[in-house]
Every structure is written in structure tokens, then in C-alpha cells.
Amino acid sequence: MNVEELKAKSNPFSFYKSAIIVLFLLVLIQSWNDTEMSFGALVDGWHYMVEYISGNPNIEGSGFFPPNLNKDDLITYSLSMLETIQMAVVALVISIIVAVPLSYMSSRNILDILIPGKTPFHMLSKRVIYGSATLVANVFRSINEIIWALIFVSAVGLGPMAGILALGVHTAGVLAKLLSEGNESIDPGPVEALTTTGAGFIKVLVYAVLPQTMPHFVSMALYRFESDVRSASILGFVGAGGIGFYLFDKMRAFENADVCSIIIVIVLTVWILDKISAVIRKRFI
């Protein structure tokens, strides 16, 4: 590649790049107008938000500050937060069990290892497997956790189990997508080297694929665990257990001092989990 070609490719104001920027700006402007987005409305309504947070001075506990620091209530909220974490742990394990096979079936390079033939039958088989796995993963992650929770509540009743199943199904779809992208970005060199020696699919997977994808897997699993803890915190709104039950109950009763206490418990828990995740990432990534 000569200097002129390099300049042409690195030019940030090329026709193609400029057209993409203009198209994006047009989409942004149209979306802004269609959704009636307005910072002015936020400024005009700011005092209503302040009044809501401050509460009614004639009603005890209607304001967010000071939060409810009653020892018994804090213990109750902390135990329900522990249940929320337990829900996220079980949901993560379920989602990994489902997502890992789905991620392999929705990765073209992994399917080429599993079904190396080039005949029409082999090509059709890979297309069917890839399409089916992609469809299942899309359905799993396209439906929000709350909708899944409502579906599972109708099957297993109120409680943590419905929340666990809802988180597990949704996270399985998200992880399948994230992990498949990691699978397809691996260096094909080690795979080709082992394949030429006659190694089977399991050996190629263990010695050529997993060593490359493991850091990505750990990172994505930890990220989804943190996300599941946050998501599980609101599944109680539909009776799926966890601290969300108390959060919804106190918000509905306008007991905002308790709402503030619950939010503090959630924020502190997520912060602690983030620090623990950082330590694990340093160890494995």
C-alpha cells in the first residue's frame, strides 16, 4: 500500500464516512423530534422532582432523606438483598449451561470444526444449526426479564424461582450472543494446526478454542452476573422474589424513606460486587 492509498483510507472526511455521519445525524434529529425529547421540559419540571424527593413535611417518611435507619428494617432489606444475589447466582449457572452450547452452535467457525465437510448435506446442516441457535438466542434475549417473570410466575407461582428462571432464560440469550462473538474472533492458527494433525472436535475445542475464549467468557459472565443482580432487584415488582418486593411495596405506599434505604442497600451491594469482579478479572484475564 503506497502513501496515497494510506492517506485515502485514513481520511476521516471521505465521502463514505461523511455520508455515514450525515445519515446518523439525520436519524438522531428525527428520533429526537419524534420522541419529543426536550431538556427544557426537564428544567421546567425540576421543582416537581425536588418536591417528590423532599416529600410532604406533614407526612413522616414521605421524603427520601433522611433514609430509614431502623435496625430491624435494615436487617430485613439486607437479607432480601442476599436472596436477590442468590437468585442471580443460580440464574447465572443456568444461563451458562444453556448459553455455552448455543454460542458454539451460533458460531460459524466452531460449526466448521464440528462439521468439517463441504458437501451440500454438511453445508445445509450447518445452516440449519446456526439459524436455529441464533433464533433461540434472539427470542431469549428479546423478551424482557419482567415479561419472562410474569410467564414463569403463572407456571410456578410467586417467589424467587420465577425470578431465577426469568433471569436465566434472558441471560442465556444475551450470553449466547456475546460468547459467539468471542468465538468468532479467535485466532484460527491454533485451530488449523490441531486440525491438520487429525485432532477431533473435543481436542480442538479444549486446546485451541477454550484457551483463547476463556478471558472473554469470564469477563462476560461477571458482567452478566452484575446485570442480573440489578435486574433481580426489580423482578419483585411482579412477585418474583428478592428485594424488589420491598422496593415496590414501599414505593406504592409512598414510604420514600424506606425506598431510599433500599436503594442504598442495592447501590452498596452492586459496588461491592463490582470490586470483587475486578479482583477476579485481574486473576483470570
- 243-253 tens-digit pLDDT: 888 888 888 88
Among 68-77, 96-105, 197-206, the minimum mean pLDDT is found in: 197-206
Q: What is the mean pLDDT of residues 197-202?
A: 75
> What are the DSSP calls for 230-249, one per residue?
HHHHHHGGGT--STHHHHHH
Sequence-ordered list of residues with C-beta below 8 angstroms from that of 130, at least 6 positions apart, any chain: 105, 106, 108, 111
Give me the residue label for grid cell 444475551: 174
Q: Percentage of the chain with pLDDT > 90?
A: 13
Q: Could you say which of 1.10.645.10, 1.10.287.70, 1.10.3720.10, 3.40.50.620 is the CATH number of the domain covering 76-284?
A: 1.10.3720.10
> Measured between alpha carbons, how far is 22 from 110 in angstroms, rounded to an integer?
38
The residues spanned by each domain of the chain are 76-284
H-run or E-run covering 96: helix 71-105
Closest alpha carbon to 67 in 285, 264, 267: 264
The pLDDT of residue 25 is 92
What is the number of H-type helices and E-type strands within the chain? 14, 0
Residue 1 has pLDDT above 60, yes or no: no
Residue 197 has pLDDT above 80, yes or no: no
pTM, two decimals, is 0.81
- 32-42 tens-digit pLDDT: 888 888 888 88
| Residue 205 pLDDT level (bands cut at 50, 70, 90) | confident
| Residue 27 pLDDT level (bands cut at 50, 70, 90) | very high
Residue 5 has pLDDT above 80, yes or no: no
Q: Higher confidence at residue 132 or residue 253?
A: 132
pLDDT, averaged across the chain: 84
Closest alpha carbon to 140 in 117, 173, 181, 106: 173
